[in-house]
């Protein structure tokens, strides 16, 4: 269940990139809702095992002499709720994008799904290297050249209702 929860947004990312028009919105919504419904399957094992990690995945990723790196994922009582909250909020974000995002709608939806993939990896990783990789995926998603960094998205929303101030020239 955990692997599907993490990989569905990544598959949705590639699907949205390959589609055009209104079908990008539908693909993003279907992928985000599928991730949410699959993540609901993580509740029962976590409730049965209490404070222990559940839905643990530990496949070998890199096997070189002297070093083995595993893709170590799992959820516990805290990370389960963070995963569920993420998969619950992303379909809502996808649903409101037609009214909020006017240009580059396809790019926004694709990056939103990639961001969900990164955040789900952050919340469920049990290895520091894997945590770092997913942290970078989530961090870099909205700071690439196709979109400005997140602080540039938030700053205009803060300024609503206020008059923009310009620095006075020293002449």
Per the structure block, which two tokens stand in for 128? 């520091």
Q: Which residues does 112 contact at the CB level (< 8 Å), separation at least 6?
A: 28, 90, 93, 94, 97
CB 55 within 8 A of CB 3: no
**Tokens, residue 30:** 């279907």
- What pLDDT digit, counting tens, does each position of 109-121 carry? 998 999 999 999 9
Q: Do residues 4 and 38 touch, judged by C-beta distance below 8 A?
A: yes
160 pLDDT tier (thresholds 50, 70, 90) = low
- pTM exceeding 0.85: no
For the cut 90, the answer to whether the pLDDT of residue 7 exceeds it is yes
Give the per-residue pLDDT at 165: 54
- The pLDDT confidence band at residue 2, using thresholds 50, 70 and 90, is very high
What's the pLDDT at 100? Answer: 84
For the record, the structure tokens of 112 come out as: 């939103």
Query: Within 10 Å of residue 135's Cβ, how many Cβ atoms?
Result: 15
Whether pLDDT at 122 is above 80 = yes
Confidence of residue 167 (pLDDT cuts 50, 70, 90): low
Given pLDDT bands bounded at 50, 70 and 90, which one contains residue 50?
Answer: confident
| Per-residue model confidence (pLDDT) at position 168 | 57
Q: What average pLDDT is seen over the chain? A: 84
d(CA 140, CA 144): 6
Mean pLDDT within 112-134? 92
Mean pLDDT of 129-144: 81
What string of DSSP letters covers the chain? -HHHHHHHHHHHHHHHHH--THHHHHHHHHHHHHHHHHHGGGHHHHHHHTTS-EEEE--EEEEETTEEEE--EEE-HHHHHHHHHHHHHHHHHHHHHHHH--SSHHHHHHHHHHHHHHHHHHHHB-SHHHHHHHHHHHHHHTTSTTS--HHHHHHHHHTTTS----PPP--
The answer, yes or no, to whether residue 96 has pLDDT greater than 60, is: yes
């Amino acid at each position: 269940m955990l692997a599907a929860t993490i990989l569905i947004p990544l598959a949705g990312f590639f699907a949205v990139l390959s589609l055009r028009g209104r079908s990008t919105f539908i693909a993003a919504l279907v992928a985000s809702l599928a991730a949410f419904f699959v993540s609901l399957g993580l509740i029962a094992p976590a409730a049965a095992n209490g404070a222990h990690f559940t839905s643990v995945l530990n496949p070998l990723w890199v096997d070189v002499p002297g070093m083995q790196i595993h893709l170590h994922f799992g959820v516990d009582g805290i990370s389960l709720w963070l995963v569920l909250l993420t998969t619950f909020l992303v379909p809502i974000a996808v649903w409101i994008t037609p009214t909020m995002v006017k240009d580059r709608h396809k790019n926004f939806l694709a990056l939103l799904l990639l961001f969900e993939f990164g955040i789900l990896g952050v919340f469920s990783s049990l290895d520091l290297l894997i945590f770092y990789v997913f942290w970078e995926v989530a961090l870099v998603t909205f700071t690439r050249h196709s979109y400005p960094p997140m602080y540039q998205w938030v700053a205009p929303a803060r300024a609503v209702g206020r008059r923009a101030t310009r620095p006075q020239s020293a002449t």
